[in-house]
Amino acid sequence: MKRWGWLSTGVALALTLVVLAVLGAREPGPGHDVGDLAAPLPMAPRTTSSSASPPPTVPAAASPPAWMRRMQPGEKPPQFVLFSFDGAASKPHWDRIMPLAKAANAHVTGLLSGVYLVPDQDASTYTGPGHPRGLSSIGFGGSRADVALRIEYLNAAIDAGHEIGTHYNGHFCVGDEPNVGTWNTDQWNNELEQFFAIVEKARQQGFKLDPAAVRGGRTPCLEGKWDQAFPAMRGRGLAYDTSHVSLGVVWPSVQNGMWEFPMPEVRVPALGKQVVMMDFNLWYALNGAKDEPEKAAEYTQIVLDTYRSVYQAAFNGNRAPMVIGNHFNDWAGGAFSDAVVGFLSEACVRPETVCATYTEVIQWMQLQDPVVLEQLRRMPAARN
Confidence of residue 48 (pLDDT cuts 50, 70, 90): very low
Per-residue confidence (pLDDT) for residue 322, from 0 to 100: 98
pLDDT in tens, 206-235: 999 999 999 999 999 999 999 999 999 999
pLDDT in tens, 125-175: 999 999 999 999 999 999 999 999 999 999 999 999 999 999 999 999 999
Spell out a b/e string for 247-281, using b for 16 or more CB atoms within 10 Å of the CB, else e.
bbbbbbbbbbbbbbbbbbbbbbeeeeebbbbbbbb
Per-residue confidence (pLDDT) for residue 25, from 0 to 100: 29
Please determine, for residue 245, whether its predicted confidence score (pLDDT) is greater than 70.
yes
Confidence of residue 51 (pLDDT cuts 50, 70, 90): low
What kind and span of H or E run contains 165?
Answer: strand 163-166
Per-residue confidence (pLDDT) for residue 56, from 0 to 100: 87
Per-residue confidence (pLDDT) for residue 79, from 0 to 100: 98
- The strand pair at 216-217 and 253-255 is best described as unpaired
pLDDT in tens, 25-46: 233 345 333 344 444 454 444 5
Please determine, for residue 14, whether its predicted confidence score (pLDDT) is greater than 50.
no
Q: What is the C-alpha to C-alpha distance for residues 300 and 293, in angstroms, rounded to an integer?
A: 11
pLDDT in tens, 77-125: 999 999 999 999 999 999 999 999 999 999 999 999 999 999 999 999 9
Per-residue confidence (pLDDT) for residue 7, from 0 to 100: 34
pTM confidence score: 0.89
The alpha carbon of 49 is separated from its chain's Cα centroid by a whole number of angstroms, namely 22
CA quadruple 172, 13, 325, 197: dihedral positive or negative? negative
The phi and psi torsions of 53 (rounded to 5 degrees) equal -80, 135
Instruction: Return the C-alpha torsion angle 205, 207, 210, 213, nearest 10.
Output: -150
Average pLDDT over residues 312-339: 97
Among the residues of the chain, which ranges form H helices?
91-103, 144-159, 185-203, 226-235, 279-287, 296-315, 331-347, 358-367, 370-377
Contacts of 60 (CB under 8 A, 6+ apart): 363, 366
Q: What is the C-alpha to C-alpha distance for residues 24 and 30, in angstroms, rounded to an integer?
A: 17
Please determine, for residue 47, whether its predicted confidence score (pLDDT) is greater than 60.
no
Q: Is 231 left (phi over 0), alpha (psi -120 to 50) or beta?
A: alpha
CB 306 within 8 A of CB 286: no
Q: What is the C-alpha to C-alpha distance for residues 258 and 265, in angstroms, rounded to an integer?
A: 21
pLDDT in tens, 166-192: 999 999 999 999 999 999 999 999 999
Beta bridge partners of 100: none
Best CA proximity match to 192, nearest among 229, 155, 224: 229
The alpha carbon of 373 is separated from its chain's Cα centroid by a whole number of angstroms, namely 23
What's 69's DSSP letter? S
More confident residue, 7 or 377: 377
Half-sphere exposure of residue 328: CA atoms within 13 angstroms, side-chain side: 23
Q: What is the C-alpha to C-alpha distance for residues 250 and 383, in angstroms, rounded to an integer?
A: 9
Per-residue confidence (pLDDT) for residue 238, from 0 to 100: 97
- Distance between first and last Cα of the chain: 36
pLDDT in tens, 359-370: 999 999 999 999
Q: What is the C-alpha to C-alpha distance for residues 240 and 257, in angstroms, rounded to an integer?
A: 9
Q: Which of 12-21, 264-273, 351-360 comes out lowest in average pLDDT?
A: 12-21
Quick one: what percent of the chain has pLDDT higher than 90? Answer: 85
pLDDT in tens, 345-360: 999 999 999 999 999 9
For the chain, the average pLDDT equals 89
Best CA proximity match to 26, nearest among 10, 48, 4: 4
